Chain A
Amino acid sequence: MRRLARLAPLAPLARIVPLLLFVAAWHLVGVAGLVDPAFLPPPGRVAVALVDLLRGGQIGDNIAVTLLRAFTGLALGATAGVWIGVMMARSEVFDAYAAPLVGATYSLPKSALVPLFILWFGIGSTTAICATFLACLLPVVVNTHHGVATTPKVLVWSAQAMGFSDREMLGRVFLMHALPDIMTGLRIALGFSFVLAISSEMIAANSGIGKLIFMYGENGTYDYMFAAITSVVAVAFSADRALLAVTHRILRWHDSAVPAADAA
């Protein structure tokens, strides 16, 4: 037991080892001639391509464009989503009107709207942002609705007995109670924002990392294509971890704040 305890600080390293093994295997199949390097560029060449793309600024510029689209859609979707979710939870009448529309849009695969948006707005950021907005909106609506609607009666009554009006309770009680659910919705929305931004760039765009990946694929410069995909994985992973860290901080009061062993 004690030997294990002494190894504990090395735990993050232990998690990287399987990834290194994977890269080594990837390298070896190339060296052994098991696959055609045209189909699977060896990791060394992908790394060189990645450095080249980072130096030349192609990755930085295009990821910046994609992130701007993704985060604009996410911010708009989250804001509107919280508002609609609160309204649905607090007003039966609003809920009756909104529920069928939300239910119908919820199950529509949002990327299918991209061709329609291209028809309406042309190729470019507006199309990507609209698709991202709709995709981010619904998980936030559904989760906010749930969080507000499940606020325990006794909490509402406690605030009422201290003289708070419904309006004053919104930020102090209902939204605070819904916060864990809202963060769950936001995490789903963050994932969607990348998927939709990149999808719409692959379907039709002049810029963005999705376009870049697609272009290298068409040109047959596969080492650059792999490098660009690697950068997308790294950015999406970092954004997700950053959101998790923020969530952890602002939900210190919540039971979920007990550190998760492996938050996947």
Chain B
Amino acid sequence: MSRHDPLWLRVRSVASVVVVLAAWEAVARAGLVPPLFLPAFSTVVVTLWGVIRDGSLPEDLAISLGRAAGGLTLATLAGVLVGIAMARNRVAHWLLDPFVALGFPSPKIAFLPIFILWFGIGSLSKILLVGFACVFPVAIGTYAAARGINRVLIWSGRSLGASAGVLLGRVVLPACAPRIFAAMRVALPVALITTFTAEMVGGGGGMGATLMYSQRFFESPVVFAYLLVMLAVGLVLDTTMRRLQARSPVLRGDA
């Protein structure tokens, strides 16, 4: 078997993960670092099972995912609106473009204290901050897609007597769907990181708040268990969105 054989390469990929986990376990077990800094992998797995069984992890996860999903939904609605308005209307473009240009590169997390001031430390401020952080990539993606629509498509729709509303629903939105979805894929990690960070800084429950709380009370196994779950959530959600994109002809752009 050649060392470049696909199967052999797959074995190496699995091996690389196994080696990292085994090294982690060995270093922790051998006492090379204090368990406070690095609890053994097996300890973390047991702790993980514990926080799943007592319901605390599922509850935190539900809170955080709810906030991220709420913010992403808001951002998608607002971003699509802004993007299409900017692409189809010159005044809207003139009015909104400076804000998009200024907002896109700025670290939205810096606005967190303003959102806390206005909307409190509960879920509302976090959902709105996530929406604020994610609206820019969605708006820019939608704008680029709507600008790229074949004019002939719109003209032929108009000459067939389609109204503006029908044109939007039947021509513009379907044509933009792949880029909008791609922008949502970009926005998803932004939504997660903003949710977790806002929870770590502002409290109010959720994955981030418990992570911070556990760190303060030196419960290292819980810190690692929560980190593993966050990693898994990011991986699962991104894979799901990629699969969806590959399956659906509308999202792939060849409908």
Contacts and interface: CB of A to CB of B under 8 A. Distances in A.
A262 B227 contact: no
A105 B234 CA distance: 9
The interface centre, meaning the residue of B105, B113, B215, B224 with most chain A CB atoms within 10 A of its CB, is B105
Contact of B112 (A95, A107, A120, A202): A202
Contact of B36 (A14, A111, A119, A209): A119
A119 B37 contact: yes
Given A93-B3, A107-B238, A229 B94 contact: no
A229 B234 contact: no
A112 B227 contact: yes
Nearest to A238: B105
A30 interface: no
Contact of B9 (A92, A114, A195, A236): A92
A108 B230 contact: yes
Contacts, number: 168
Nearest to B144: A264
Interface string A76-107: 00000000000000001101111111011111
Interface stretch (A148-156, A160-168, A170-178, A210-218): A210-218
B99 A116 contact: no
Contacts of A110: 193
B212 A203 contact: yes
Query: What does DSSP make chain B's interface, helix, strand, loop or mixed?
Result: helix
B9 A96 contact: yes
Contacts of B116: 217
Nearest to A216: B113
A15 B110 CA distance: 24
Contact of B110 (A109, A116, A120, A198): A198
A55 B192 CA distance: 38
Contacts of A115: 200, 211-212, 214-215, 223
A181 to B, nearest CB: 16
Interface stretch (B10-18, B23-31, B70-78): B10-18
Contact of B98 (A16, A118, A120): A16
A116 B20 CA distance: 18
The interface centre, meaning the residue of A109, A118, A240 with most chain B CB atoms within 10 A of its CB, is A109
Interface in B59-112: 94-112
A111 B200 contact: yes
Contacts of A97: 12-13, 15-16
Contact of A109 (B12, B101, B230): B230
Interface in B93-147: 94-114, 116-118, 140, 143
Nearest to B101: A264
Interface in B206-255: 207-208, 211-212, 214-215, 218, 220, 223-224, 226-227, 230-231, 234-235, 237-238
Interface string A178-201: 000000000000110011001100
The interface centre, meaning the residue of A99, A108, A118, A233 with most chain B CB atoms within 10 A of its CB, is A108
Interface in A226-241: 226, 229, 232-233, 236-237, 239-240
Interface of A: 14-16, 18-19, 21-22, 39, 92-93, 95-101, 103-116, 118-120, 190-191, 194-195, 198-199, 202-203, 209-210, 213-214, 216-217, 222, 225-226, 229, 232-233, 236-237, 239-240, 262, 264
Q: 4 tightest CB-CB pairs across the interface, nearest first?
A: A107-B234, A217-B113, A240-B105, A115-B215
Given A92-B9, A108-B227, 15 more contacts: A16-B98, A92-B4, A96-B16, A101-B17, A105-B231, A106-B234, A111-B193, A116-B227, A119-B36, A199-B201, A202-B112, A216-B113, A237-B102, A237-B105, A264-B101
12 contacts: A100-B16, A104-B17, A105-B231, A107-B189, A109-B192, A112-B200, A112-B226, A118-B215, A119-B36, A191-B107, A209-B110, A236-B105
